[in-house]
Amino acid sequence: MNKKLQDIRGQFPVLERQIYGRPFAYFDNAATTQKPMTVIDRLKKYYESENSNVHRGVHFLSQEATSAFEQARIRISGFINAASPSEVIFTKGTTESINLVANAYGNKFLGKDDEILITWMEHHSNIVPWQLLCERTGARLKVCPVTRSGELIVEAFEQLLSERTKLVALTHVSNALGTINPVKEIIAKVRKTSAVVLLDGAQAVSHMEVDVRDLDCDFYCFSGHKMYGPMGIGVLYGKETLLEKMEPYQGGGEMISTVTFEKTTYNQLPFKFEAGTPNVSGVLGLETALTFIEETGFEFIKNQEDDLLNYGTASLSEIEGILFYGQARSKAGVISFNIEGIHPYDIGTLMDKMGVAVRTGHLCTQPLVDFFGIQGFIRASFAVYNKRSEIDLLCEAIKKSRDMLL
């Protein structure tokens, strides 16, 4: 283990825990990453010495918290290269960000027989809000197929794309398969129509540089807890021209300019979409997580995770009875698999008793499970702090579990 990896792991005390008396190997990073001490300390500092509501008080603590909160917005907008901090809306997470667009944009601009185009590899959070929108408006949902190796069939996407298409929503990186979609190429094709594009970036932002202006997406969504930050905080990026035209998603404090019993006028961006008391500590923790990512460096993150993916794939391939799902040519650090003849939940439960944490089940991608004709996946997903010796523990736990169950 090189010194930089050793130093990184030293920032995550949870990785040194013993689980059932065994060394701990955490491979559920696509569900949530562990948090470095800098993030934990930032949350502690806020509640110990800075706790106050933002934007509303003239007293010192409120002014201090407001300044830190808005400085974090500036940092986050720079992290994704938004044109302005006002294009960064704070939400609870990716799911709320997508629902915000489905309601605030979809309700206003989509109507009967308009089409929404998604893909077979979407997370439920990027399926259900569009189904609900279709029920409200009479729009229709179209789904682009994928190959058995887990790649989007771009030719089919082009055939489905038409003048009726008003919104395209797809994942940047698949949570179940690890596929990195050619989103820039896809967006260029969409630009030949009047459709807007939303990218689910929940699985992308901690693994690769994201430049929303270079991608030319209209909306981009992500969650703090999948990028070493706190739970309960997320971001919706939206082009300012679109956000200005959209109606507020929720009503209440902060999102207003004036209120009378006869009429309410709305606040300017980004506050128009941030009703109520925001998750101030979460925003500050997310900013600190960005610092961790930037100091670690995307080049190191990519090299480390690619090494884990290659080593993990090669090691798992030697296990008798293993079946892989998602072998795209462009792939992030996710390996989904099954052991022939064994239910994924049974394997996952036994592996847990051996100190190895993986995710099992449909991974919030039930249509994809149906596509492969299986009961669910076993997923090992990697983060920058994982190491090869943990993959050895993973393989050992799989073999022991298989032998116990067959």
Delineate the domains of the chain, giving CATH numbers in brackets.
3-30+297-405 (3.90.1150.10), 40-294 (3.40.640.10)
Sheet with 88-91, side-by-side order of all strands: 88-91, 234-238, 219-223, 196-200, 165-171, 115-119, 140-144
d(CA 60, CA 267): 24
Q: What is the pLDDT of residues 122-148, one digit of tens each?
A: 999 999 999 999 999 999 999 999 999
Mean pLDDT score across all residues of the chain:
95
Q: 134, 144, 221, 364: which is the annotated catalytic residue?
A: 364
d(CA 347, CA 406): 11
Over residues 276-291, the pLDDT tens digits come to 899 999 999 999 999 9
**3-class SS of residue 54:** coil
The token duo for 180 is 């990195």
Q: According to DSSP H, which parts of 239-319 are helical?
A: 240-245, 280-296, 298-317
Q: Give the range among 100-109, 213-222, 265-274 with minimum mean pLDDT.
A: 265-274
Q: Is-catalytic flag, 364?
A: yes
Asked if pLDDT for residue 94 goes beyond 80, the answer is yes
What pLDDT, on the 0 to 100 scale, is given for residue 3?
87
Q: What is the DSSP letter of 48?
A: I
Q: What angle do CA 357, 362, 366 make, to 5 degrees?
A: 165
Percentage of residues in the chain having pLDDT higher than 70: 100
More confident residue, 275 or 215: 215
Neighbouring C-beta atoms of residue 155, cutoff 10 Å: 9
The tens digit of pLDDT for each residue in 295-336 reads 999 999 999 999 999 999 999 999 999 999 999 999 999 999
| Pair 173, 179: CB distance under 8 Å | yes
Rg (CA), the chain: 22
Backbone angles phi, psi at 337, to 5 degrees: -155, 175
pLDDT value of residue 268:
84
- Report the half-sphere exposure of 271 (CA within 13 A, side-chain side): 18
The Cα 354–Cα 6 span in angstroms is 23
pLDDT at 211: 98
